Structure 1
Amino acid sequence: MPVEDRLGQYIKQTEQAINGRKEHAMRALDLTVPQYAALLTLSGTEGMSGAKLARRCMVTPQTMTTILSNLSAKGLVSRTESPDHTRVLITRLTPAGKRKLKQADAKAVAIERFLAEEFTPDEAEELRSLLTRASNRLAQFRQPEKKG
């Protein structure tokens, strides 16, 4: 299959472009894109475990442990024992984390809006639909077993 026919190449190129812009924007706020993603995800909750947060942010639990350790050191999140499970820590945004997220999200939204300006509303909806279909299709893929 020629490289120019491989959809993954185009998806990866776009992902790298948007993440590159967001990394640059977040760096000015002393954040990384994964740290921003964790703050954004936490903003819609009353707190959650690191494992759940890792799943929502699409990183490994080990990576999320590092992200949360760094965010905690910056005073942007607090971690307390779960009332249900003493071995589980529940992570919440601190007031400083909420302020930092507001700044970071303004920068991320500006990038998202800039990208969206390239498309009509119908094209943007079609792109979302096509990418969702692609993701759902890939979730169904099973590598053929080797015979031999």
Structure 2
Amino acid sequence: MTKLHLLPFLESVWALEQRLSGLLVDYKLTLSQFRLLLLLDKDKPQTATRLSAMLGVTKATTTALLQELTRAELIAASPHPEDRRSSLMRLSPAGKKRLHQALEALSDMERMLGKKLTPEITEALKQFNLKHDGAT
């Protein structure tokens, strides 16, 4: 069997995901909720269908996330001006505050991780992410 050089990297990604998830617990967020809030923070209000595509998950998964975040009053819906059947989802002021608190806490983790990565690895990860973003 061929030795896969990607496995140690994947194990590191999984460990990072676990640490990130643990940190987000302090802000009463899951990693999936965090990703959705990030999308709403950087883009204009979005429909559930568009958010599903951006997250790469099913509409049912997105609907469940939106319901959780709405109950927590972290997002709000408004009528879509061009499509009466749709709503536009946006961050609420409380959602923006919680997201930015979590991002501040994550900056410490990023600084720690940044000290351990060589410039070459950092650049390779950026390039991989750019190629991945272009493929979606």
> Aligned to 1:124, what secondary structure does the other structure show?
helix
Pick which of 110-119 and 96-105 moved more.
110-119
* TM-score relative to the length of structure 2: 0.85
Look at both structures and tell me which one has the larger radius of gyration over its CA atoms.
Answer: 1
The code of the aligned residue for 1:15 comes to V
Alignment of structure 1 residues 17-32 onto 2, 5 Å: 17-32=15-30
TM-score by length of 1: 0.79
Quote the sequence identity (%): 28
Residue 135 of structure 1: how far off its partner (Å): 4.8
For structure 2, the residue ranges without an aligned partner over 5 or more in a row are none
How many residue pairs were aligned? 134
Number of the residue aligned with 1:108: 106
Indicate which of 91, 101, 106 corresponds to 2:89: 91
| Divergent runs of 4+, >4 A | 132-136
Indicate the RMSD between aligned Cα atoms, in angstroms. Answer: 2.2
1:13-50 deviation digits (Å, cap 9, x = unpaired): 23311210111011111110111111111011231111
Letter of the structure 2 residue corresponding to residue 25 of structure 1: L
Distance 1:35 1:28 in 2: 13
- Structure 1 residues 36 and 43: alpha-carbon distance in aligned structure 2, compared to 1, 3 A threshold: same
Structure 1 unmatched runs, 5+ = 140-148
Task: Classify the secondary structure of the residue corresponding to 1:48.
Answer: coil
